Amino acid sequence: MKKDTLKNLAQSALADTSLLSSYKRKLVFRIILLLFCFVLYFFYPPLESDILNFDFQNLSLVHIVWLVLLLEMLLVFFRRSKISMGSVKQFKRNYQKSSVEVSEEEVKAIKRRLNIGALKVLIVWLILNGAVALIYFINWIGIKELFILSALYYVGDLVCVIYFCPFQRWFMHNRCCVTCRIFNWDQPMMVTPLLFIPSWYSYTLGAAALFALIMWEYNFWKHSERFIELLNENLQCRNCKDKMCVYRKPLIKTPKKLKNIEESIHKSKYNKDAKQ
């Protein structure tokens, strides 16, 4: 049965891959930008000074990278951006109430499960980039290396969306990107290495990323129903218009730990009804 479901999902995805094609083109563009950054790294001596002394009066090649990153970050602020439902589900226009009756206790349990997965990712990310910060501050790497690392994160973001996401597979176990609790965390994640650099270049990108993160987390806290697959029809597999699961198959099998949580929810609900 599960094999048939996967087969149907794959066929459905192949039927309309316009968004997937768009994301693949974006990935190619990001790879080109990464190569451009490597060229700057090896053959553009003023790279470090241009990052540190970001001056709008004296335009340089660094401004190109900054503008590309900033413009892409701004897309998440617009409700009608042609990007995955995983990103724009935070907006009211993308919420369609489900007919499923869910108690407040169940919603709290689902939110708790999502938050635990997100917390695991946050801890791992802080540890990894804490190590990067350490080797930077003891001068094992410099500003140019942080610049390249940020460009690598920029490419890795779409690799996660299209091909393989370690955060989904190992920590959160969400079905796909559409249901991802931390989809828009990619903004601050991409610029994390730059935050160690005291520069207008890093501060502006960091501010845009932080604002995107605050907006995302506020909407999750205030309107969690928009983020929960069970409550939002637009996040459910049968209503998916993204068709992004051609290469990265959705996780249909519920991990044992999450299954136990779901069973405990239904058990507590049953006991509550029995007492009444």
Let me know if residue 130 belongs to a domain. yes
User: Poorest-confidence range of 74-78, 116-120, 196-200, 204-208?
Assistant: 74-78
Q: Are 246 and 20 a contacting pair, CB within 8 Å?
A: yes
Has residue 274 been placed in a domain?
no
Long-range contacts of 215-220 (CB under 8 A, 24+ apart): 215/76, 215/77, 215/90, 216/76, 216/90, 216/184, 216/185, 219/90, 219/91, 220/90, 220/181
116-169 pLDDT, tens digit per residue, is 999 999 999 999 999 999 999 999 999 999 999 999 999 999 999 999 999 999
Distances (CA, A) of 46 to 23, 43, 65, 144: 32, 9, 14, 10
Q: Which domain does 245 fall in, by range? A: 2-251
3-state DSSP assignment of residue 206: helix
Q: What is the mean pLDDT of the chain?
A: 86
- Tens digit of each residue's pLDDT (9 = 90 or more) over 170-183: 999 999 999 999 99
Give the pLDDT score at 57: 80
Domain for residue 171, yes or no?
A: yes
Judge whether 276 lies within some domain: no
Span 7-35, pLDDT tens digits: 555 544 444 468 999 999 999 999 999 99
| 189 vs 74, more confident | 189
Three-class secondary structure of residue 156 per DSSP: helix
Residue 97, pLDDT above cutoff 90: yes
Q: What is the pTM of this model?
A: 0.85
Structural domains in the chain (count)? 1
Better-scored residue on pLDDT, 121 or 245: 121
Provide the token pair at 201: 């270049």
Which CA distances in Å does 37 have to 30, 47, 87, 159?
Answer: 10, 10, 27, 18
In this prediction, residue 270 carries a pLDDT of 42
Q: Would 27 be classed as within a structural domain?
A: yes
Dihedral angle sign, alpha carbons of residues 184, 186, 188, 189: positive
Domain-embedded: residue 259: no
Instruction: State the number of CA atoms in the 13 A half-sphere of 157 facing the CB.
Output: 29
- Specify whether the CB–CB gap between 162 and 248 falls below 8 A: yes
Q: Is residue 184 part of a domain?
A: yes
Backbone angles phi, psi at 160, to 5 degrees: -65, -40
Please name the residues in contact with 242: beta carbons below 8 A apart, sequence gap of 6 or more: 19, 20, 84, 85, 86, 177, 178
Q: Tokens 């007919």 sit at which residue?
A: 99
Query: CA dist 61 to 38, 54, 68, 251, Å?
Result: 12, 11, 11, 42
* Position 229 in a domain: yes
pLDDT at 39 over 90: yes
pLDDT at 269 over 90: no
Cβ burial, residue 176 (10 Å; 0-12/13-18/19+): buried
